[in-house]
Amino acid sequence: MTATAVRDETTKESRTMKVESFLGRHAALMPTFAALAILLLLFAGAEAFLRGDFITPRNISALLLDNAYLLVLAVGMTFVILTGGIDLSVGSVMAFTGILGAKLLADGLPVVIAVPAIILGGALIGLVIGVLVQYFNVQPFIASLAGLFLARGLAFVVSLSSIKVEEPAILWLQSTRITVGSWYITPTGIIALLAVAVAAFVLHLTRFGRTVYAIGGSESSARLMGLNVARTKVAVYVISGLCAGLAGLILTAYSGAGYPRNGIGTELDAIAAVVIGGTLLTGGRGYVVGSMVGVFVYGTIKTIISFMGAEQSWMQIIVGALLLLFIVVQRAIVARSEGRR
Amino acid sequence: MDQASPLLQVTGATVRFGADAVLRRVDLNLYPGEVHSLMGENGAGKSTLVKAITGAVPWTEGRMTLAGRDVQIASTEHAIGLGISTVYQEIDLLPNLSIAENVCLGREPRRLGVIDRAAMRRRAREVLEGLGLEVDTSALLGSQSVAVQQLVAIARAISTDCRVLILDEPTSSLDLDEVAELFRIIRELKARGVAILFISHFLDQVYEICDRITVLRDGELVGEYLTDELLRVDLVQKMLGHEGAPLRARDRETPERASGEALVSGRGISAGGVVEADVDLGAGEVLGVAGLLGSGRTSLARALTGVTRLDSGIIRIEGETTDLESPRTAMSLGVVYSSENRRRDGIVAEMSVLDNITLGLQAERGIIRRLPPAHRRELAMSWVDALDIRPADVDRPAGTLSGGNQQKVLLARLLALAPRVLVLDEPTRGIDVGTKVEIQNLVGEMALNGVSVVFISAELEEVLSVGDRVVVLRDGRIVDTVDASSLTTDGLLALVARPDESEV
């Protein structure tokens, strides 16, 4: 009996040691786990409240479909925030590329030209912001704010009113439903998930990705270590712009039209999702998968509120409160990991 | 040795920042298989020369040859690519990434363009084991101690095929064993034919490891010497540019300490890394604190100044029990603290010298009672003058000053508060001999004026020469309190080291 007690003791000890070393390695994961826990809580709460009508294959599938554009934006935003920057332009860029695509298609251009034009258009605005930030030393907040106004203005230049899209290839992205039982996924959803997968791969397993984290940790150290800081910093804004262009395509397919007033304030939703997903606003810590969780938390709250028939303004109050909670959680974790030293 | 041609040769290096020439026509020759020391006071241009060689600051004039070929270093990447590796003075690594990544970043082993994490950890572990360090290479760097971080920085520098290795103050945060280990590595690299540039303020270390010494003063070359042919006295004289008189310790006044009349007295203080410490500090007394890294010396300082709350124990100031709940409370009682990490917890680098000096005073007066600008300027000028802060320009950002002058600015800020108790945590770490002596003398003067000083230093000679009494800490406990005059450095060393080791 004593022998078992001793063994219990040692297994317990080795378990705490494992937990310790896990925490030492992955302190940055904790906020992401917290986001996941909140997502599950939301699901459970809604399920209980709506008496089993919430967690249905239809609802969960719709969650991805309805938020595909936001997910793509959040992926791009994660790159920027990881370097310690911010990109306020993505909502406008999404609107501009969307209306641009709709206009090009309405003018009779083929899809093979219109779609690359949309994505390149987004990347180009990202490039301008990146160059401003890196080579003209403009604060990311200001540079991307300029990008926001530029893209919104360009959207109105393209068209003042909404342009309907009738191109079957674009509508296909939205209307095709690959079904498994009563679960379904659209090509737009697949694009969004692919974006997450590619981003996770790039961030964790390529030199470029690790340089992104390094810049967020300390830009001057990264420079002294001989990493290519300039190129990487420009590249994250290009990636964010590219993602915004892709989101423009997805949103156009989703709504079947381009509209210059689309996505006003969406950049803030994307930032909120990234922060809720556990990425530190000061950079260097966070995961793109966390941003995906953040988008789902955001989408779920929206769905719950529309199910309950409550005012949409509650949406913003709840997201605001969650954001506050997460920033406090992050501060606590950072303080803890510094205290462990 | 002279028949070999230099591996790296710098001729006529000049670096200007605006109108100021920080470096004027300096030559440096690094030979393969030789350890070369670059010596000089703060502001002599050592760091600037290092940065010029590694491409971190642009050259105004001069040329550099590597293995006989002219090179123009365009960037730090370029320097690393040419085989010039550097460990900078302040640890410049990334706390948010793993140890393995910090060692391998930028040159990670890859398979088909994808980082091979297992191979990366393996490589990092091999290099670190070569340095005698066994750690979990997947752990975040930020969770490790400063000494481990320093070793990781060194591991990063030597993990490539470097031909030239530059070590800028690599030993300032290492303990004796770790320094010995580092020297073993340096000798190994030397045998491999690496040219090593070693910068340190510890003369002992320079004489132990270096073959050749280049001395700089005020941005100019004084000369290049073989270590064996240069006496220490001569070296110090060349660095200071005048006779080495200031190196002598201040004349000790016999401490007239009325027994039982302690200004600050702590009983059973436990906080952070210190356990049940009893401390008494008389008025006008300098209490030296000696102990190894991690012995609790910083924890003691932080407990006495309200930076960390006490877990248990009491602190009495003038016999009255006080609860030092924050540094602000402590300051209002005249107890001020200077952190060991002046760059992080001391100087506000972006603010001017003027603002840095008057910051503390303004904070004490509160935001309503603003100091008149003219008064502030006058005050700052008088401190700059009194402490001989150079350059004597109060509008310069404090971050652009050399380490020793930053420390003086920090001291000026504290002294402007007219404190009764001054707690100085390693005030002379990483600064040159001249400024060091000035600060030591200043401490003596303060004590004569009735200010009590707690003086923490890793250098035992300094603790002995500055302190009236010395508190010896070991593993978080005070093991002894002795009169400084009754103790030799060797005696103190025996107290600081573990008892079983002191038997040797």
HEC string of B223-236? EEEEHHHCCHHHHH
Residue A224's closest chain B neighbor by CA? B76
CB B106 within 8 Å of CB B117: no
Q: What is the ipTM of this complex?
A: 0.79
Domain regions of chain A by residue span: 28-339
**Quick one: average pLDDT of A247-271?**
91
Give the pLDDT score at A338.
55
B96 to A213: CB separation less than 8 angstroms, yes or no: yes
At B378-433, the pLDDT tens digits run 888 888 888 888 888 888 888 888 778 888 898 898 888 888 999 998 888 767 77
- Chain segment A147-185, per-residue pLDDT in tens: 999 999 999 999 999 999 888 888 888 888 888 888 889
Two tokens, residue A305: 């509120």
Chains A, B: CB contacts within 8 A come to: 89
Q: What percentage of residues in chain A have a pLDDT greater than 90?
A: 50
CA distances in angstroms from B46 to A184, B26, B164, B233, B239, listed in the order given: 66, 10, 16, 20, 12
Please check the confidence at residue B442 and state whether its pLDDT lies above 50. Answer: yes
Contact residues, chain A, for B144 at CB < 8 Å: 341
Closest residue in B to A24 (Cα) is B139
Q: Is B103 exposed, middle or buried (0-12, 13-18, 19+ CB in 10 A)?
A: buried
Put simply, whether A58 touches B (Cβ < 8 Å) is: no
Task: Please list the alpha-helical segments (H only) found in B291-422.
Answer: 297-304, 327-332, 342-345, 353-365, 373-386, 403-415
Q: Is A217 on the interface with B (CB under 8 A)?
A: yes
Contacts of B428 (CB under 8 A, 6+ apart): B407, B435, B436, B439, B440, B457, B459, B462
Q: Please give the share of chain B, as a percent, with pLDDT higher than 90.
A: 7
For chain A, helix, strand, coil in percent to 5 are 80, 5, 20
What are the chain B neighbours of A217 within 8 Å (beta carbons)? 94-97
Secondary structure letter of residue B401 according to DSSP: S
Residue A302 one-letter amino acid: K
Q: Compare CB distances from A206 to B80, B113, B142 and report the shortest one's residue.
A: B113
pTM of the predicted structure, to 2 decimals: 0.70
* Mean confidence (pLDDT) of chain B: 82
B502 pLDDT band, cuts 50/70/90, is very low
CA-closest candidate to residue A319, choices A300, A335, A333: A300
Residues 88-147 of A with CB under 8 A from B: none
Instruction: Provide mean pLDDT across the span B59-83.
Output: 85
Report CA dihedral (B366, B368, B371, B372) to the nearest 10 degrees: 170
Q: Does A25 contact B at CB distance below 8 Å?
A: yes
- Cα within 13 Å of Cα(A186), Cβ side: 24
Contacts of B294 (CB under 8 A, 6+ apart): B145, B273
CATH number given to A28-339: 1.10.3470
Nearest to B140 among A25, A205, A218 (CB): A25
Q: What is the pLDDT of residue A18?
A: 64
Which residue of chain A is at minimal alpha-carbon distance from B145? A341
Separation of alpha carbons B338 and B353, rounded Å: 16
The identity of residue B500, as a single letter, is: D
Asked whether the beta carbons of residue A221 and residue B93 sit closer than 8 angstroms, the reply is: yes
CA dist., res. A87 & res. B497, Å (int): 55
Most confident of A87-101, A315-329, B19-33, B191-205: A87-101
Distance CA B6, CA B29 (A): 6
Question: Is A285 in Cβ contact with B96 (below 8 Å)?
Answer: yes
